[in-house]
Structure 1
């Protein structure tokens, strides 16, 4: 059984503030160790379920948060950037399931460190008219590849967002949002035991991979900056609905990859801190 892990950081056990998840933050070094403990708990669950091939993609920020020596030896690590598929780099139709560890809710939600990909630079996103963030876009892209999301961990807001997308996905709330930078924390050992048990119970038996779908989708993004939107109109196929909102049509996962290009363009034009 081949299992793919996409590991973010904002939804990790115990972390509530930018200083916990940004390099240079006063608690970042502790935060990256907490990140490793959550993913290792999930890996232990995958191994218990019979996983024989485990790929972990470091999907947060600069994507160099997980220390290779801190990772469970059963897993291989994809680390660093740029990555053409960003948070889903390395995911293929040959995988049996996706595990999302440390995920957070989308921009505008009252969740711990909530945002959509780029802090406040992205105000809103929609996929086929449905509000979407990192959770929904990852789920839709994996589904287009024929790979189900089996388990997601994060705060209770992230878990609720996943349940709205697909109620069959097992979720583990490791903390309960009191506000965007405050949470009622589940004890660390209790949270990690819950992660391990949920992954062990939630993984499917090995299956015959399904073919990737080619149904077209429409991705719409409303940016904080009109400059970003105007610049993106130079990319073939990108259209605008107003001065700050652009959209494009295409099949997933190609649309996911295109969105990564949009973010790189936006990053070159802005210098905004990710959580403000």
Structure 2
């Protein structure tokens, strides 16, 4: 069994603040160790379920958070950037399942360290008319590759977002959001035991069919005013992103296939995972034009 693990940091056990997850933060070094422990719990769970090949992708910020010497020896690590597929670098149809560790809720939700990919630079996103963040984009892209997202860990709001997107995905809540920078924490040993057990159980369970179509769709006002979205089923997906800066939106119009739906919102159609890869280019353009701190 081949297992792919994408590891973010905001949803890791015990972490609640920018100083926990950003290089240079006063608790960042501790946060890196906490991140490694959550990953290792997932790796142990995968091994218990019969995994013989495990690839871990460091998917947070600089993507150099996990120290190789802290990682379980049964796992290989993808580290550093740039990566064409960012948080999903290395994911191919050859994997039997994907596990998301340390994920967080999307922009606008009151989850711990909630945002969508770029702090407050991205105000909102929609995939085929449905509000989406990192969780939904990871699920849809993996599904397009034929890989099921089997388990997701994070705070309770991230778990609820995952369940709303696809209730067949097992979730493990390691903390309970009190606000964007506050949470009630599960004891670390308890949380990691839950991750290990949750991963082992989900990977050992019968495999549900993989669908690239989100279970339900709800259009936002901005999407309703734009061109109609494609219906359920195979075909191109439509990704829309509303930026904080009109300058970012205007610059992205130089990319073929990108069009504006208003002064700060751009939209493109394409097949996943190609559309996910193109979105990575959008973010690199935005980063070159802005100098925003993620958690202001």
Q: Is the CA contact (8 Å cut-off) linking 1:97 and 1:204 kept in structure 2?
A: no
Q: CA deviation at 1:211?
A: 11
> Is the contact between residue 45 and residue 198 of structure 2 (CA under 8 Å) also seen in structure 1?
yes
Structure 2 CA distance for aligned equivalents of residues 147 and 241 of structure 1: 32
1:256 and 1:194 mapped to 2: Cα distance?
31
Deviations 1:198-236 (A, max 9, x none): 0000015798x9899962000000000000000000000
> Which position in structure 2 is the counterpart of 1:267?
287
Aligned counterparts of 1:104 and 1:185: Cα–Cα separation in 2: 15
Distance 1:187 1:199 in 2: 18
Q: Does 1:61 align with 2:68?
A: no
Q: Which residue is 1:218 aligned to?
A: 238
Q: Does 1:236 align with 2:256?
A: yes
Matched, 1:178 2:175: no
Task: Give the structure 1 partner of residue 75 of structure 2.
Answer: 75
Q: Distance in 1 between matches of 2:67 and 2:280?
A: 24
Distance 2:25 2:264 in 1: 31
Partner of 1:153: 153
Question: Could you report, residue by residue, the CA deviation over 1:35-58 in whole angstroms, capped at 9, with x for unpaired residues?
Answer: 000000000000000000000000
Secondary structure in structure 1 of the residue aligned to 2:198: helix
What CA deviation, in whole Å up to 9, does each residue of 1:86-144 have, x standing for no partner?
00000000100000000000000010000000000000000000000000000000000
In structure 2, how many angstroms separate the alpha carbons of the residues matched to 1:218 and 1:211?
A: 17
Residues 243-262 of structure 1 aligned to structure 2 (within 5 Å): 243-262=263-282
Are the equivalent residues in 1 in contact too, given 2:143–2:210 (CA < 8 A)?
A: no
- Alignment gaps of 5+ in structure 2: 213-232
Match of 1:130?
130
Gaps of 5+ in 1: none
Partner of 2:247 in structure 1?
227
Measure how far apart 1:16 and its partner are: 0.2
State the match for 1:30 in structure 2: 30
TM-score under structure 2 length normalisation: 0.91
Q: How far apart, in 2, do the equivalents of 1:76 and 1:88 lie?
A: 14
CA shift digits 1:59-104 (9 cap, x unpaired):
0001000000000000000000000000000000010000000000
